[in-house]
Chains A and B, each alone.
Chain A
Amino acid sequence: MNPILADIYSTVIPSAPYLIAAYALVWAALLVYVIIVVRGLKKTEAQMAVLEEAVRAKGGD
C-alpha cells in the first residue's frame, strides 16, 4: 500500500479495541439496568399476587 495511505489510516487499528469496548460497554450497561428493573418488577408483581391471595383468603372466612 502507498505509505501515505497507510499513514492516513494508521490510527484505525490501534484505536479499534477502545472504540468497540466503549460502545459494547454502553449497550451492556443499559441492558443490565433494564434487566434489573424488569426482574424487580416481576418479583414485586409476584408478591402482589401472593398478597391478593392472602386478602381473598382472609375475606373468605
Chain B
Amino acid sequence: MAKKTTRVPEAGGWPDAVAVPALIAGAVLTTVGFLMAFLWAAPVNGAALSAPELVGDVMVTHQQLISQKIFYFHMPVAIVSFVALAFGAYYGIRFLMTREQRFDTCSRVAMEIALLFVVLTMITGDLWTRFEWGVWWTWEPRLTTYLILMLIAIAYFVLRNAVDDPERRATYAGVVSVIALVDVPVCFMITRLIPSSIHPVVAREGGMSPDMAATVFVVLAGMMLVGYGLYRLRFREARLGERLQALKDMLE
C-alpha cells in the first residue's frame, strides 16, 4: 500500500479558528473603505463647467461625479473573484496530480466563492454603467470578460451536476477550471486590444490619485478577508457533509 505523503487540507485547525475573525475584520475594513470612499477620496471630474467656482478652498472646474464611487467596490470584488478562480484552478491541478478527492472539494468551494464575487462584480459594474452611459449594458472589455467568467463558472457547476462518478467528475471539473483560468485573461486582453466601435474601453481609471488608490487597497484587503472567511466557512460545511456521508455509508 503506497504511503500517502501528500498533506491534504482539512477543516478545523488554525484556518477555521481564523475564519470568523477574518470575516469580521474584512467587514470592518470594507466599511472603513466605504467611509473613505465617500468622505476622503476626491470625487472624479465629470463634464467641464462653464466657469470655475471656488468651493471650500479648492478651485473646481468640473462637475463632481459621485457615481464613480461604485468603482471602489467594483474593482476589489472583481480582483477577488479572479483570485478565487486562480485558487480553484490551483486545487484542480493538485487534484489532477495527486488524485486526492479532498483537493476537488477545495476546488469546488473556491469556484463557488469565485461565482459569488463575479455576481457582485456584475451587479456593481452594471449599476455603474447604467448611470455613466445611460444603458443597462455595454459590451466593454471588463464587463464582457466577467460575463464570460460567470458563464464559465455556471457551466462548471452544471458540468459537476451532469457527471455521476466522483472520480470522473473531479477530473473533468479540474480540467475545466484550468482552461477557465487560462481563458479569462486571454478574453480580457483580446477584448481590450481589438479596436472596436461597440466596446468602449473605459479609459477613466488610467491614473489613480493616491487617495483613490489607498481607498481601493483598503477595500481590496477587506474583500480578500471576507472571501477567505467565506471560503473557510463553506469548506467546513462541505467537509462536515462529506464526513457525514462517509459515516452513513459505513453504518449501512
Residues of chain A at the chain B interface (Cβ within 8 Å): 2, 4-5, 7-12, 14-16, 18-19, 21-23, 25-26, 29-30, 33-34, 37-38, 40-41, 44-45, 47-48, 51, 54-55, 58
In the complex, which residue of chain A has the Cβ closest to the Cβ of B38?
A19
Given contacts A5-B53, A15-B65, contact A45 B120 (CB under 8 A): no
Dominant secondary structure at the A interface: helix
Given contacts A15-B65, A34-B230, A41-B237, contact A22 B70 (CB under 8 A): yes
**Closest 5 A-B residue pairs measured CB to CB?**
A15-B67, A22-B127, A4-B53, A18-B131, A44-B240
User: Is the pair B240, A23 in contact by a Cβ cutoff of 8 Å?
Assistant: no
Complex Cα distance, B237 from A34, in Å, reads 12
User: Is the pair A23, B34 in contact by a Cβ cutoff of 8 Å?
Assistant: yes
User: Is the pair A8, B236 in contact by a Cβ cutoff of 8 Å?
Assistant: no
Can you pick out 28 interface pairs between chain A and chain B where the beta carbons lie within 8 Å of each other? Answer: A4-B50, A7-B50, A8-B55, A8-B63, A8-B64, A15-B65, A15-B66, A15-B131, A19-B67, A22-B70, A22-B124, A22-B128, A23-B34, A25-B123, A26-B120, A26-B123, A34-B233, A37-B234, A38-B233, A40-B241, A41-B233, A41-B236, A41-B240, A44-B237, A48-B244, A51-B244, A51-B247, A55-B251
Complex Cα distance, B34 from A16, in Å, reads 15
B-side contacts of A33, CB under 8 Å: 116, 230
**B193 close to chain A: CB less than 8 A:** no
User: Is the pair A37, B230 in contact by a Cβ cutoff of 8 Å?
Assistant: yes
Separation in Å of the B109 CB from the closest CB of chain A? 10
Contact with A along B107-142 (1 / 0, CB 8 A): 000000000100110011001101100000000000
User: Is the pair A22, B123 in contact by a Cβ cutoff of 8 Å?
Assistant: yes
**Which of A4, A29, A48, A58 is in CB contact (< 8 Å) with B120?**
A29
**B166 close to chain A: CB less than 8 A:** no
Give residues of chain B (3-35) contacting chain A, Cβ–Cβ below 8 Å: 23, 34
Residues of chain B at the chain A interface (Cβ within 8 Å): 23, 34, 46, 49-51, 53, 55, 60, 62-67, 69-70, 73-74, 77, 116, 119-120, 123-124, 127-128, 130-131, 226, 230, 233-234, 236-237, 240-241, 243-244, 247-248, 251
B-side contacts of A4, CB under 8 Å: 49-51, 53
User: Is the pair A7, B49 in contact by a Cβ cutoff of 8 Å?
Assistant: yes
B-side contacts of A47, CB under 8 Å: 244
B-side contacts of A29, CB under 8 Å: 116, 119-120, 123
Complex Cα distance, B236 from A2, in Å, reads 59
A-side contacts of B119, CB under 8 Å: 29
Complex Cα distance, B59 from A4, in Å, reads 12
A-side contacts of B116, CB under 8 Å: 29-30, 33
In the complex, which residue of chain B has the Cβ closest to the Cβ of A13?
B66
In the complex, which residue of chain A has the Cβ closest to the Cβ of B121?
A26
Complex Cα distance, B43 from A15, in Å, reads 13
